[in-house]
Every structure is written in C-alpha cells, then in structure tokens.
C-alpha cells in the first residue's frame, strides 16, 4: 500500500519516542525497521518527499523509559546495529522496592536477539552511562514470578535500568513516576528479518539497534493507545508510540522535528502541506473522509485529504485522511 504522495515526506524523518515524564525525563527515538516503517512510501514519491518526520533517519530516545538513537525507513528494513559494550559495565548503587544493588558490576553484555544469557537471566536494554537513554544490552536476572506481555510491571531504580519483573524476551515499558508500566516483547528473528509474536504489533528497532521492541497496533482516528501514547504509521499499519511533543508544543500548525513530536491525533507533515508552516515540518490532524469538516486549519485552506493513494488503503482505513493543503 502507498500513502498519498503529499504525505511522503512525513515518513522520511526520525521518530522520537518519549515516555511519560518521571524523574528521568524519558525520550526515546525509535525506528521503523523493516518491520517498522510505514510501508507508506516515502518511496511512493521520492519526488514529493521533503523530510518532515516519521521514518528513516537517525533519532534519539531518552527518558524514564528510555532513549537513544534509531533508524527507520518507509517500506524497508533498516537497522542500526547497536553496540553491546564491554563484557561488564560499571554501575552505581541501585535501590528500589526490590532492595539495593551495590556491587558496581551490573551484568554482562549479550545478544538481544539471541537471548544468550545464562539460565535464569534475560538479555535486555539499559542505559550504561547513568543517563536516560537506552544505549546498551546486558544480562539481568529473570523475576521468579515474571509478568507477561500486557501485564502491569515494575522497573527497579528507573525505566532505563534494565531491571524489572517482566519475563525473558520482554521489558517494562512506558513507566511512570512510580516506575510502573506494562510488559512488552522484544522483537524476534533477526535485525534483517524481525517479527513479533502478536500479528497486531510491529517491530521497531530503536537506539542504534539495542532496543528492538514490539509496539501495539491502534486506530489513528480512535487514538486508542494506552495512556498518552500517539497512534502513528508503522509498517503496513499504525502502532502506539510515546508522545514526544511535550506540554507546550504539538498542536495543529506547530513545528515538529520528529514523527511523534505532535500531540496524539496529529502527525508531523511536510511544510508545504500545512498552512503557514515555516519549519521543515508542522503538526497536522488525522481526519475522517466521511466527516471532512473536522480540520482545525480549514479556515486557512486546509482540507481532509485521503491518507492513501487511490485504491491503496488497507482494509478499514479507506476513510482515513490528513488535514492539509491539497496537492
């Protein structure tokens, strides 16, 4: 399937995933890997694509649930191999409801795809520099009574510590100020052929490859994601990503540097598509073609334009549009 050519540019920028702001802040940029891209063609029209934001270049993720850099590309598999770092990584004392780790040595490096840690341990992502962005992988103990995908979970210390009570092959995602979130699966397969066990999810390979995660699917018109997550294009559908807009930005017409630097219900579109936009990209709303009068910038010439090229919309998305100047 292909997106309308006027949207092509919005798929050629980076995706910045930002978790709920707890003590760490949390921003994370993700990538639409082979499986994470909006199959929508930034390819569909390289000619009409300006870079605005949502899929293929470097990004950066940081936050209480994380951060780092990632790459993505529309309709293709792009991964940025992440480094595993030293055999051991130095850490600081970490205390939580689970107790304190004062050893200073917090886990050996590992293969996030191969899950090659010793029995009773799992390979996960963490911030090895005490920062707020996932930038490495390490082995950590698996909780004796591990939580499963979708279950409420608790992270130890911070959302980027790598320590949580989710099962092997999973991590605690989208943690709040109390370090509570929900378990999501890491992608399976390989960087070249990633997949998720849930067909309704899509694999996003983020933070230079150290964070391959399966994000849940959603409906861009309903914006039915958990919490404040935004529903944005990824692969052949839409998935929930962390809202990176911040409290004072992300409204219709606001400048945006990343695909998810707009409020839920909006996306980062090419400048020429948004009335009055003076940046590389600006936020614009999704709209329903069956209710075309819902565009906030209609008074400035914006219309509800089909999001997909004629005949290319996936089942159930035939009425999906984007508010903007018609091409």
Q: How, if at all, do strands 27-30 and 15-18 pair?
A: antiparallel
Name the token pair of 169.
Answer: 């092959």
pLDDT tens string 45-78: 322 233 333 333 333 444 444 333 333 333 333 3
User: Global pTM?
Assistant: 0.66
How many Cα atoms occupy the beta-carbon half-sphere of 173 within 13 Å?
Answer: 28
Q: pLDDT, tens digit, for every residue of 249-301?
A: 999 999 998 788 899 999 998 898 999 999 989 999 999 999 877 899 888 98
Side-chain-side CA neighbours of residue 264 (13 Å): 19
Q: State pLDDT tens for residues 123-175.
A: 999 999 988 889 999 999 999 999 999 999 999 999 999 999 999 999 999 88
Q: Where are the alpha helices (DSSP H) in 8-132?
A: none
Task: Provide the 10 A C-beta neighbour count for residue 245.
Answer: 23
CB 161, CB 93: distance < 8 Å: no
Q: What tokens does 98 get?
A: 């689970």
């Amino acid at each position: 399937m292909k997106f309308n050519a006027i949207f092509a540019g919005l798929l050629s920028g980076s995706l910045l995933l930002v978790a709920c702001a707890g003590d760490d802040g949390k921003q994370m940029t993700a990538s639409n890997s082979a499986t994470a891209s909006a199959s929508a063609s930034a390819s569909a029209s390289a000619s009409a694509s300006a870079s605005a934001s949502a899929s293929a270049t470097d990004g950066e993720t940081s936050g209480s649930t994380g951060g780092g850099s990632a790459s993505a590309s529309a309709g293709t598999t792009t991964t940025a191999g992440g480094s595993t770092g030293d055999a051991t990584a130095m850490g600081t004392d970490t205390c939580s409801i689970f107790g304190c780790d004062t050893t200073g040595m917090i886990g050996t490096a590992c293969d996030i795809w191969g899950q090659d840690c010793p029995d009773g341990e799992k390979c996960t992502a963490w911030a090895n520099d005490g920062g707020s962005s996932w930038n490495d992988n390490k082995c950590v103990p698996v909780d004796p009574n591990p939580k499963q995908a979708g279950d409420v979970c608790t992270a130890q210390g911070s959302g980027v510590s790598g320590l949580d009570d989710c099962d092997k092959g999973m991590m605690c995602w989208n943690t709040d100020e109390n370090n509570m979130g929900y378990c999501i699966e890491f992608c399976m397969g390989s960087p070249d052929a990633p997949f998720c066990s849930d067909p309704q999810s899509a694999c996003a390979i983020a933070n230079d490859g150290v964070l391959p995660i399966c994000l849940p699917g959603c409906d861009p018109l309903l914006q039915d994601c958990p919490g404040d997550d935004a529903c944005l294009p990824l692969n052949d559908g839409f998935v929930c990503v962390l809202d990176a807009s911040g409290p004072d930005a992300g409204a219709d017409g606001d400048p945006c540097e990343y695909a998810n630097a707009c409020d839920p219900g909006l996306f980062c579109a090419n400048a020429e598509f948004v009335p009055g936009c003076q940046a590389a990209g600006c936020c614009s709303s999704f709209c329903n073609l069956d209710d075309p009068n819902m565009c906030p910038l209609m008074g400035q010439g914006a219309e509800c334009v089909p999001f997909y090229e004629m005949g290319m919309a996936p089942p159930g998305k035939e009425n999906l549009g984007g508010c903007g100047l018609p091409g």
